[in-house]
Structure 1
Amino acid sequence: MAPRFDFTISATDGKARTGTIAMRRGTIRTPAFMPVGTAATVKAVKPADVRASGADIILGNTYHLMLRPGAERVARLGGLHAFMGWDRPILTDSGGYQVMSLSDLTTRSEDGVTFRSHLDGSRHTLNPERSIEIQRLLGSDIVMAFDELVPTTSTPEVQAAAMARSMRWAKRSRDAFDGGGAHAEGAAIFGIQQGALDQTLRGDSAAALIDIGFDGYAVGGLAVGEGQAAMFGCLDFAPGQLPADKPRYLMGVGKPDDIVGAVERGIDMFDCVLPTRSGRTGQAFTRTGPINIRNAKFAEDSGPLDPACPCPVCAGWSRAYLHHLVRAGEILGAMLMTEHNLYFYQLLMADLRDAIANRRITAFADGFRRDYGLPKGE
């Protein structure tokens, strides 16, 4: 039988690592990018096409699925994998970020968070125990602890209090997960490091999480408006505060150059809505930088989105056709643009894994930034 959770590092280059996470539903190659399937779908793309792009794992979201269609309903229908037709691993976000960012009239207490749905205004409570219960009902393979996120611009006192509460919630999350019976025997749980941009707070958070014990550790509270330089400044120390023999997951990141820089700093896992959201709005990622296919200059461009890309979209359709589809509001335009972007991200991850394995991560990263139009070392 496949292991519940087995992380193996096969090569390192500086702080960068490549390896695998073996789980019962499949092996995840790291560094890994997880397409976001917030509401039980990676928007505009069929699961088979997500898999064909190279994705080993996707992300679902507790907050959105608890509101619609409801975790209990998904459980009655066989769990999230069967419901959406994805048989590989799924990581579920705990819902903490969405509660803070999408909900009106949010009330926080030591027990948890009471909020009104952004869909219909109905009142709900989410706390560590309920978040873990929802993730168990969904059948998540990697469960995230419930935490409290505050902006990096908050006062030091607010940041310290939120970090401390998140660590208390992490222990409650761990206890609730361990009480999950058969699900806990086949799934994994990650803790989330908090502490904004403060090295001491981050260190205290890491120590608390390590004392509790998790299968993997996320760096939370970044990519929320602080800017790339500040994020990289935090990543210069935060991953090193976490166990070297466990996966390190940077939540909600990001742009291709964010990912390259974070891999150089020791991050193993990523998720972001950017490739799918950008695809639906007409932006394509290419090795020479992003392009807006709506631009008039593409109206008679017979070339592919990215001449260096082997994806089915670049092999089959021109920039001119995609320009027409997107300008006309055709659904196929969003589908094809999104499919290309997913391939771009997965090909980038494959290149990063290869560069680390061959101990040329610095040369690859500098070359990527040069071709992408960024200064060396950005």
Structure 2
Amino acid sequence: MSERFCFSVKARDGAARLGEIATPRGIVRTPAFMTVGTGATVKAMFPEDVKASGADIILANTYHLMLRPGAERIARLGGLHQFMHWSGPILTDSGGYQVMSLAKLRKIDEEGVTFQSHVDGATVALSPERAVEVQCLLGSDIQMVLDECTAYPATREEAKASLDLSLRWARRCKVAFAAMSKPGQALFGIVQGSVYPDLRVRCAYDLIDIGFDGYAVGGLAVGEGQGAMLEMVETTTAVLPEDKPRYLMGVGTPEDLLASIARGIDMFDCVLPTRSGRHCQAFTWQGKLNLRNARYAEDQTPLDPESKCPAAQYERAYLHHLVRSGEALGAMLLTYNNVQFYQELMARAREAIAQGRFATFADDVKRRYAATGDDD
């Protein structure tokens, strides 16, 4: 294992990149999908099964963990890795998005964000320095700067004011990280700018001037539509450094992942595979299936014959029975299937890039999802 954080590109196919992120806790193969373990758990899954699915890295959430059970308590208990029984790399987001979306009352100013906890109503302050402190207490391997998630839609003036504040916070996060972090930990900047290409480019260049270990594209998949999202991704990756990982936050569907990889993105996270599993939906190599549908009541076909996931070998009729009966096992099996499908998707994408056939692979997956599967 590497004693420091570093990134290397092993192969390219167009703008798609095959690479590795080396951390003291292990290698992350890219393109990588980070399964979301918001509150120190991937919902409905054992940590051992998450690892067995092919995941190199998972994501945990600063906002939720600082409120419950508390970053200081997790630090006293040995850090987040020991606490959640995960020995590989962990990325923590800064909590900014959850403050905007979950907090009952909030006030944003130059100092940071003050908000009312959705857990117990307590008033909590989250400054750039506190966001870094919490992530360092958790002991995460990749940390995110605190940013303001620009609302959508936003005028150009609103988007500019928001990203200017985020840039000032990013500089403060960099200083705090230098003082509090341990060797081998990394800090990523986040490019904002809504759907305005010139703002995205300016924000990216300013973050590069500050200097980070990697760069995320934030503030997308919030209602702007796939076309606008991909335009902003392409605009942003065109100016980001070649020797740093690029992370598209909160995306998304298999089609969105592959379209973004084709535009130079290396890392993703999204709650879609786990949330869909709890809502009776399965991602498969035949398309997305809704196991509540009556058509599966006597279907003895394995959920996904093309998958290597143990959960995918259960008959669709049995899974239909479980979800219609409200049995917890149904959500567990579908979640396991979905998490592994996303890892298999990334593995096949990496193989396709290495072999110079990524566009063909992506077109095949897109065709499968357009021609098969169920409506939600």
- Both proteins in one fold, TM over 0.5: yes
Which of 338, 343, 364 is 1:341 aligned to? 338
Residue by residue, what CA displacement relative to the aligned partner does 1:26-65 show, whole Å, maximum 9, x if unpaired? 0000000000000000000011100000000000010000
Deviation at 1:256, TM superposition (A): 0.8
Residue number in structure 1 paired with 2:370: 373
Residue number in structure 2 paired with 1:331: 328
Deviation at 1:175, TM superposition (A): 0.5
Residue number in structure 2 paired with 1:216: 214
Which of 230, 233, 249 is 1:232 aligned to? 230
Residue number in structure 2 paired with 1:245: 243
Q: Which runs of 5+ in 2 are unaligned?
A: none
Preserved CA contact (<8 Å) 1:12 1:357: yes
**Between Structure 1 and Structure 2, how many residues are aligned?**
372
* SS of residue matched to 1:86: coil
Deviation at 1:168, TM superposition (A): 0.6
- Counterpart Cα distance in 2 of 1:353 and 1:152: 33
Preserved CA contact (<8 Å) 2:201 2:235: no
Residues 246/39 of structure 1: CA separation in 2 closer, same or farther (3 Å cut)? same
- Counterpart Cα distance in 2 of 1:152 and 1:198: 12
Aligned residue identity for 1:346: Q
Deviation at 1:368, TM superposition (A): 1.1
Residue number in structure 2 paired with 1:268: 266
Preserved CA contact (<8 Å) 1:288 1:373: no
Preserved CA contact (<8 Å) 2:246 2:267: yes
Residue by residue, what CA displacement relative to the aligned partner does 1:157-210 show, whole Å, maximum 9, x if unpaired? 110001011111000001000001xx3312011000111111111111111111
- Counterpart Cα distance in 2 of 1:69 and 1:307: 41
1:309 and 2:311 matched: no
- Counterpart Cα distance in 1 of 2:32 and 2:16: 13
- Counterpart Cα distance in 2 of 1:28 and 1:345: 15
The percentage of aligned residue pairs carrying the same residue is 60
- Counterpart Cα distance in 1 of 2:114 and 2:24: 35
Aligned residue identity for 1:235: V
Aligned residue identity for 2:94: S
Deviation at 1:374, TM superposition (A): 6.4
Deviation at 1:364, TM superposition (A): 0.8
- Counterpart Cα distance in 2 of 1:129 and 1:344: 37
Residue by residue, what CA displacement relative to the aligned partner does 1:218-242 show, whole Å, maximum 9, x if unpaired? 0011011111111112122111121
Q: Which runs of 5+ in 1 are unaligned?
A: none
Preserved CA contact (<8 Å) 2:150 2:192: no
Residue number in structure 1 paired with 2:95: 95
Residues 174/291 of structure 1: CA separation in 2 closer, same or farther (3 Å cut)? same
Deviation at 1:307, TM superposition (A): 2.0
Residue number in structure 2 paired with 1:361: 358
- Counterpart Cα distance in 2 of 1:362 and 1:298: 33
Task: Give the superposed CA RMSD.
Answer: 1.1
Residue number in structure 1 paired with 2:347: 350
Deviation at 1:261, TM superposition (A): 0.4
Aligned residue identity for 2:83: F
Matches within 5 A, 1:94-243: 94-180=94-180, 183-243=181-241
- Counterpart Cα distance in 2 of 1:2 and 1:363: 34
Aligned residue identity for 1:72: E
Residue number in structure 2 paired with 1:319: 316
- Counterpart Cα distance in 1 of 2:145 and 2:225: 25
* SS of residue matched to 1:373: helix
Deviation at 1:2, TM superposition (A): 1.9
Deviation at 1:92, TM superposition (A): 0.1
Q: Which moved more, 1:89-98 or 1:185-194?
A: 185-194
Residue number in structure 1 paired with 2:30: 30
Aligned residue identity for 2:286: T
- Counterpart Cα distance in 2 of 1:226 and 1:199: 13
Q: TM-score, normalised by structure 1?
A: 0.97
- Counterpart Cα distance in 2 of 1:173 and 1:239: 22
- Counterpart Cα distance in 2 of 1:162 and 1:331: 42
